[in-house]
Every structure is written in C-alpha cells, then in structure tokens.
A and B are shown apart, each in its own frame.
Chain A
Amino acid sequence: MDITSVISKKLFFLGFLFLILALLVTLPLYIQPYLVILLTTIFMYIIIAVSWAIFSGPTRYISLASAAFFGVGVYTSALLGKILPLPAMIAAGGLLSFILALFIGLLTLRLRGMYFIIFTFSISELIRHFLLWWETNRTGTVGRWVVIVDHVVVYYVILVIFMLALLTAYLIKRSRFGLALRSIGEHEEAATHIGINATAVKTIAFAISAFFMGAAGSIMATKWKYVDPRIAFDPLLSFLPVLMAIFGGTGQLFGPVFGAAILAYLEEILTTKFPYYYMLLFGSILIVVILFLPRGIAGLVQKYWKGGLRRQNANP
C-alpha cells in the first residue's frame, strides 16, 4: 500500500465521519419529535457504554458503578438546575461524578476481580438508599422537579457529550496513558514493575469515564422533568452499558458505540412490540452473543475484514 492510497483512505474516512456528523446535527429538522427523543435515549446509552469502556475495556476491571455516576449527574441538575445556566449545570454534574470516582477509585481499585465488581455495585446502591432515607426522613419529600429543557436542546447537548466522550476515548487509546491502561489489564503486577503507577493510572481513567456519565445524567434529568433516587440510580444503568459494550466489543473504539446503538434500539422495539417477552428475548440475544461472539460485533467485523481467520494461534 503506497502513501497516496493511505492518505486517500484517511480522507475518505474523515469525510464519512463528517457526513454522519452533518446528518446527526440536522436530523431534528426533518424527523418527528418521537424519533429525536428515541435518538436522545440511544445516545445516552452510547455515552455510558463508551465511557464505561474507557476504563473497563483496557483494564478489564468490570465496574458496576455507572448508575452512581449517572445518578450524581441527575441529582446535580435537580439541585442546581434552577441556579446555574445549562452548560454550567452539566459541567457540574460531570465534575461531581469525576470527584466521586476519584474517591471510590482510591478506596477500591486495590480490589480485583469479583470483589471490585461487587464493591462498585454496592456503592451505587448505597448512594441510592442513602438518598431515599435522606429524602423521606430529613426533607420529607420523595423526588424532585427538574428544570425543563426543550427536547431538541437535550438532543444537541447529548450529541456534544457523545462526541467529546468518543474523542476522549480515541485520544486515550492512542496515547501512552492508553498503553499503560492496557498493560495493567494484561498483567498488573508486571505493569507496576516496569514503572507504571497502576493506582494513579486506574483512578484517573475511572474518573474520566465517570465525568461523561455524570454529564449525561445531568442533561437526561431535564428530559425526565421529575426524578427520584430510584430513577436516578437505577441499577439497570450499571448493567446495561456493560452488556452493550461487551456486545459491541471493547477491543475497538466503535464496538461500544454499535453495541449500545443496537441494543438500545432493540430494547425500544421489544418493549413496544413484545412487552411481555421483552426481557426473555433480550436475555436470549445476550446469551447467544456472549457465547458465540466473545469479542463482540467489532471482533466479528474485524475477523472477516482483516482475514483474521488465517492467523490462528497455538496458544489462544
């Protein structure tokens, strides 16, 4: 392959990305509000899945704290939405999640495997129950009203957060920081012995991933108008992004994007068309994917694209 064909391929790819972007930006002009709202939800899942994969993809630490970070964003909007302008509110949601993740990271990232998974899950549950207790016993209310924002504005904000998350994931993947994360995932002990400060690297990556989840929660709160701890810290928001990212494949940047897009759309179709069998169908699809596509959709595409079948290993 000569240089010109590499450059033209790159140009083609950039042009393609630009086209998609232009399409996404202009979409609300010619589609129904229902579709805009559906797209907003799909992008919400994509953001959570992509940011989850920023940390958990390379390090292989399965975090189930997504709901905690998302919920912190939601509650930030509920509490500060009336005081702060919209961009500041979203940044505040992201920042508070970032700070929470730093604390959780320093506390828990010495745990590994199952212990880490359970602990991160417990953190979200702890926050949810604490808030429920606080609201019922201290303020005497359950839930809060959130400032209302037009659904098209919500869509654009979500789109911006999505692009920032994707860009961040891309930059991290290509950077030395990304290499450190992968080394930790491959062999943490060896990584520390070649000079990688594993605790610091993991904590920062965890916090960066939490930032986007918090920002997404912050804007989604305005779409729901009313939130309570059960909605804000819904445990499904911890599980679904993990499944979506694994479904799409965490090895590639676009894996979690496609995984989340497909599953979120599928969820919408199944809940509207087969409300009674939705969970059953959804679960079956996931089992099939995890059994037969261990590296997700991205892994499958890569396999056929690059003729990966030719390269078989003696030690898989």
Chain B
Amino acid sequence: MRILEGEKITKHFGGLAAVHQVDFDIHQGEVVGLIGPNGAGKTTLFNLISGSLPTTSGEIRYKGKKITRLKPHQICRKGLARTFQSAKLFAGMTVFENALAASLFGTKRTISVPDAEREATELLEFVELSTAGEMLAKDLPIGSRKRLEVARALATKPELLMFDEVMAGLNPAEVTQSMELIMKIRNKGITIFMIEHVMKAIMNVCDRIIVLHHGSKIAEGTPEEIATSRTVIEVYLGE
C-alpha cells in the first residue's frame, strides 16, 4: 500500500526551482533513502512534505488523502513525523520534557498525562537516553541530541518517519548505533524516508533510493542499481 505519494511537486524560491516536477511514492513498511549533492533540494522536499513550506505546485498525498495545504501540526497528527538536519530541540527543557511534549500533542486523540509520561519514559529507554532524562537538552552531546530528536519524533506515534541526516556529525561507532536504531524502528512497523550522506548507511539500510539533482529526480532504484547507475556516478563524481 502506498503511504506517501508526491505528484509533480514543484517549489520555486523566486526564480530558482529548488524542487522541480518530482514524482515519488513510498510504500508501507519500506525504508527509502533520498540522496543527492548539496543543494539538490532534499531538505526542501522534506519541508514541503511536512508542511514547513507551501508547494508552488503539485500534490502530496498521505494514505491517499491530500496533505499539500495542511499545517505542520495537522500533518504531524495524521502520523507523519520528521527530524531536522540540525537537531531542533527544546534546548532549555529537560530531555524528558522534550519527549513528553511530543507525546502529549503529537496525536489526534487526547492522551492523559500519566500515559504520556509512561510513553516518554519508554521512548527514552528505546533510544538509550533513560539516564539523561533530567538533563537539559542543550547539555547533551551531539550523538544524544540526534537520538533525542528521534525519540521526540517517535513520541508523536508516526506511521511514517522522515530523517533529515540523522547521522551527520556522528563518529563511526555512533553511525553503527544509529543504523541499528533505524532497523529497530523499522521493525516496529514504521515506514522510513531518510536523507543521508553516509553511503554505508544508505546502502545497508534502504530498500530503495531516490536521487535528486538540481531539484529533479534523476534516478530511483535498489541500492545495487543506484551504486552502478551511470547518471548517479556522473553527478557525484563529475565525470
């Protein structure tokens, strides 16, 4: 079943087409990677899907329903969560409060505070941050910040989770840890759409990869197909 579809999505910033006529679809349970050189429009596409930016034209459908004109909080409550390239945490709040807020507001139905607290505790355990609960988010090292963002996104109980470079700035050990975390999330039945520059992770984790270049989709396929694709190699290596 298609969980997310994009049809001819276009975004212009003034005269610049940051995203141009992009079609894509993501099936339930998949892990889909989104790659491309810097400035390819990957984060812009994420911003269009999550409602941060309005599309210039085109239509995005979540579970068959149009979400193109919805506000970010409405999209979140439908079950589509995201993380940010540079972790956007509630810096002056505790780690626990960060997760708690998402748990309280992330879903359509109202949840009681004790239930939300239980969920937040479980999720901090899930991302291995349970000992840091009372710390302020701003005091966390970068790896933990990224994990807290994942926990916060998970607390909104998403069916589709979008990661924007969740591994950027991590050391090799943390990248491995992060890949394991992604597999754990996938095993929960959550569909994943991720932007990533760490090729090892993309090739190992993804079922399918979409390649953007100058705002357009230039390739799509399994990791093997992408790794051997002539166009992709040209774009990345500038042949």
Chain A interface residues toward B at CB < 8 A: 176, 179-180, 182-183, 186-187, 189-198, 313-315
Q: Are A190 and B156 in contact (CB under 8 A)?
A: no
Bound CA–CA A182/B72 (angstroms): 18
Q: Are B88 and A194 in contact (CB under 8 A)?
A: no
Bound CA–CA A197/B71 (angstroms): 9
Bound CA–CA A186/B136 (angstroms): 12
Q: How far is the CB of A191 from chain B (nearest CB, A)?
A: 8
* Partner pick for A179 among B84, B101, B138, B152, CB 8 A cutoff: B101
Known: A179-B104, A313-B139. A190 touches B90 (CB 8 A): yes
B89 at the interface (CB under 8 A from A): yes
B82 at the interface (CB under 8 A from A): yes
B97 at the interface (CB under 8 A from A): yes
Bound CA–CA A176/B103 (angstroms): 11
State the total of A-B contacts with C-beta under 8 angstroms: 78
* Partner pick for B81 among A180, A187, A189, A193, CB 8 A cutoff: A193
Q: A192-B71, A192-B76, A193-B52 are in contact. List 5 more A-B contacts (CB 8 A).
A: A180-B105, A186-B92, A190-B88, A192-B73, A314-B139
Which residues does chain A contribute within 8 Å of B102, judged by CB atoms?
Answer: 194-195
Which residues does chain A contribute within 8 Å of B100, judged by CB atoms?
Answer: 179
Q: Are B76 and A193 in contact (CB under 8 A)?
A: yes
B199 at the interface (CB under 8 A from A): no
Q: How far is the CB of A294 from chain B (nearest CB, A)?
A: 13
B233 at the interface (CB under 8 A from A): no
Q: How far is the CB of B131 from chain A (nearest CB, A)?
A: 16
Q: Which of B88-129 contact A (CB under 8 A)?
A: 88-93, 97, 100-102, 104-107, 113
Q: Are A187 and B91 in contact (CB under 8 A)?
A: yes
* Partner pick for A196 among B50, B82, B105, B136, CB 8 A cutoff: B105
Q: Are A186 and B50 in contact (CB under 8 A)?
A: no
Bound CA–CA A198/B51 (angstroms): 14
Known: A195-B102, A195-B107. A190 touches B89 (CB 8 A): yes
21 residue pairs of the A-B complex, CB under 8 angstroms, read: A182-B97, A183-B90, A189-B72, A190-B88, A190-B152, A191-B90, A191-B101, A192-B76, A193-B72, A193-B76, A193-B82, A194-B73, A194-B101, A194-B102, A194-B152, A194-B153, A194-B155, A195-B107, A197-B71, A314-B139, A315-B139
B77 at the interface (CB under 8 A from A): yes
Chain B interface residues toward A at CB < 8 A: 50, 52, 71-73, 76-77, 81-82, 84, 88-93, 97, 100-102, 104-107, 113, 136, 138-139, 152-153, 155-156
Q: Are B73 and A198 in contact (CB under 8 A)?
A: yes
Bound CA–CA A176/B93 (angstroms): 14
Q: Are B101 and A197 in contact (CB under 8 A)?
A: no
Which residues does chain B contribute within 8 Å of A313, judged by CB atoms?
Answer: 136, 138-139
Known: A194-B156, A195-B156, A313-B136. A189 touches B101 (CB 8 A): no
Bound CA–CA A118/B155 (angstroms): 37
Q: Are B106 and A195 in contact (CB under 8 A)?
A: yes
Which residues does chain A contribute within 8 Å of B76, judged by CB atoms?
Answer: 192-195
Known: A182-B90, A189-B88. A196 touches B138 (CB 8 A): no
Bound CA–CA A314/B139 (angstroms): 7
Which residues does chain A contribute within 8 Å of B52, judged by CB atoms?
Answer: 189, 193
Q: Are B89 and A179 in contact (CB under 8 A)?
A: no
Bound CA–CA A144/B101 (angstroms): 49
Which residues does chain A contribute within 8 Å of B91, judged by CB atoms?
Answer: 186-187
Q: How far is the CB of B28 from chain A (nearest CB, A)?
A: 21
Bound CA–CA A32/B89 (angstroms): 53
* Partner pick for A183 among B77, B82, B101, CB 8 A cutoff: B101
Which residues does chain A contribute within 8 Å of B136, judged by CB atoms?
Answer: 313
Known: A183-B93, A186-B90, A186-B92. A192 touches B72 (CB 8 A): yes
Which residues does chain B contribute within 8 Å of A197, judged by CB atoms?
Answer: 71, 73
Q: Are B82 and A176 in contact (CB under 8 A)?
A: no
- In the A-B complex, the 3 residue pairs with the smallest Cβ-Cβ separation, listed nearest first, are A186-B90, A194-B102, A190-B88
Bound CA–CA A192/B73 (angstroms): 5
Which residues does chain B contribute within 8 Å of A183, judged by CB atoms?
Answer: 90, 93, 101
Q: Are A176 and B139 in contact (CB under 8 A)?
A: no
Q: How far is the CB of A187 from chain B (nearest CB, A)?
A: 5
Q: Are B88 and A195 in contact (CB under 8 A)?
A: no
Which residues does chain A contribute within 8 Å of B84, judged by CB atoms?
Answer: 190
Which residues does chain A contribute within 8 Å of B152, judged by CB atoms?
Answer: 190, 194
Bound CA–CA A193/B76 (angstroms): 6
In this complex, the member of A187, A194, A314 whose beta carbon has the largest number of chain B beta carbons within 10 angstroms is A194
Q: Are B50 and A180 in contact (CB under 8 A)?
A: no
In this complex, the member of B50, B72, B102, B113 whose beta carbon has the largest number of chain A beta carbons within 10 angstroms is B72
Which residues does chain A contribute within 8 Å of B73, judged by CB atoms?
Answer: 192-198
A192 nearest CB neighbor, chain B only: B72
Which residues does chain B contribute within 8 Å of A179, judged by CB atoms?
Answer: 97, 100-101, 104
Bound CA–CA A286/B152 (angstroms): 39
